[in-house]
Chains A and B, each alone.
Chain A
Amino acid sequence: MNSKQLSVRIWRGKDNGGLETYQVPARENQTVLDVITEVQRLHAPDLAYRFACRVGVCGSCAMTVNGKPRWTCRTHVKKVADEGVLTVEPLRNLPRIKDLVCDLAPFIDTWQKAGAPFSGNQTRQQPPATVDPNSKARLTADAALQCINCAVCYSGCDVVNWNRDYLGPAALNRAWTLVNDERHGQRQQTFDQAFADGGCGNCHSHGNCTRLCPIELSPSQSIAGLKRLALTGLDKRY
């Protein structure tokens, strides 16, 4: 029987809360989410945290683990535990609700402000648009498309941290995919919104978003693309 223990420091309470330490058995294979679940089941039934799929599809279990925002379900304890100590806090840059749960509303709002809703330019009577999968615009959009709104980049962004009016990497990355989507009827509006006050002109290119993205997207590159478009203008061919 393995008697090795893992010390888990978990944020309890809201803004004025603090870290509480729990001891759980250190196992050969365990994710941070496994550990939090074990703490909740055995030690602290009132511990609030979020998860759904447990396999890196939904993005709801993002938390700050030993100082960095991560998906807890896809983070093995062995990789991040610092001398057998794990510190789990809620995501940065978002209002705290309780323990490890944040209010994601401000993050979702940034998507609206960045012109993120898709708006088709055809009616249902028209045939579906034929999009060349190898066109430059499509390949550019595809490279940034897989974001699942987990807010890891938003939480890791220092510009968001000092300026809550900044739209942040995820929303601007979304705007970049739409600007490159020939089926999007409001490309110019999306571009204008992504470049308005609080938009991509505020990015300092620190690159935290790209370094932290769990699926290795590059919002930095998307934002750089938007900035480049400011010089060249939108491609009017479509």
Chain B
Amino acid sequence: MERRLFVLQRLSAMLLALLVFIHLGLILFAVRDGLSAAEILGRTQGNILWATFYGLFVLLVAIHAPIGVRKVLQEWTGLPASTINSVCWGFALLLLVLGFRAVAAVV
């Protein structure tokens, strides 16, 4: 279990590092003529590529972050393992829902 989580967190981190760079590059590119909602929506709406990109982004974040938070809670709080695991499942779900909602809103 510990090993599987460790591997999942490392692999998601490797992919996220790549996606974050693309995301940062996109931000620089997107604001070159000033930032407007219309311009952004014009690029993202109906674009399956960006939907997939940010969908994957959300999925990886929902895997990566709760595993790290679980470790922090284990080290800092001394709460029972089952409580910590439930909190982290809840956190993962929250990230998934909020993330996919945001992706759905712009595509």
Count of B residues near A, CB < 8 Å? 9
Q: Is the interface of B mostly helix, strand, loop or mixed?
A: helix
Across the interface, do A231 and B75 meet the contact criterion of CB distance under 8 Å? no
Selected contact of B75 from candidates A162, A192, A197, CB within 8 Å: A162
Asked whether A227 is an interface residue with its Cβ less than 8 Å from the other chain, the reply is yes
| CB < 8 Å neighbour of A163 from B2, B10, B75 | B75
| A197, B6: Cα distance in complex, Å | 12
Contact partners of B32 in chain A: CB under 8 A: none
Whether the Cβ atoms of A201 and B6 lie closer than 8 Å is yes
Give the tally of cross-chain contacts (CB within 8 A).
24
Name the A residues within 8 Å of B5 (CB-CB): 201
Chain B residues within CB distance 8 Å of chain A: 2-3, 5-7, 10-11, 71, 75
Interchain Cβ contacts under 8 Å between A and B, 24 examples: A162-B75, A163-B75, A192-B3, A195-B2, A195-B3, A195-B6, A196-B2, A197-B2, A199-B2, A201-B2, A201-B3, A201-B5, A201-B6, A201-B71, A202-B71, A202-B75, A227-B6, A230-B3, A230-B6, A230-B7, A230-B10, A231-B7, A231-B10, A231-B11
